[in-house]
A = this chain, B = another copy of it.
């Protein structure tokens, strides 16, 4: 299913609030390491590490221009992550189909064993 490592890196990159904010910031246009670091009151070194994590997940691309480094959103559209989650959603919604259906349905308001009633 896709490639485990890709999902690993993508989800790990997204698991930090600072990095998610960086992505949002870059959505408004490219920025240098310094420009990214400033609103967080973070050292340049610290910010560079975050950018590196995002870059190795394909979420950001960077290019050295002059003495500055331009960071912008990368080619990774999060499609793999999105489709994994979508797969999980379907799985979740059908989780009553298994052997535990009986136990779960005992608590349901109606004993309509037919189609999923939008619950």
Contacts and interface: CB of A to CB of B under 8 A. Distances in A.
Given A11-B15, A12-B12, A20-B7, A73 B89 contact: no
5 contacts: A11-B15, A27-B92, A72-B100, A78-B85, A82-B89
**Chain copies in the assembly?**
2
A17 interface: yes
Interface residues of A, number: 37
Given A8-B16, A85-B81, A91 B24 contact: yes
Contact of A98 (B14, B16, B28): B28
Interface of A: 4, 7-12, 14-17, 20, 23-24, 26-30, 72-73, 77-78, 81-82, 84-86, 88-89, 91-92, 94-95, 98-100
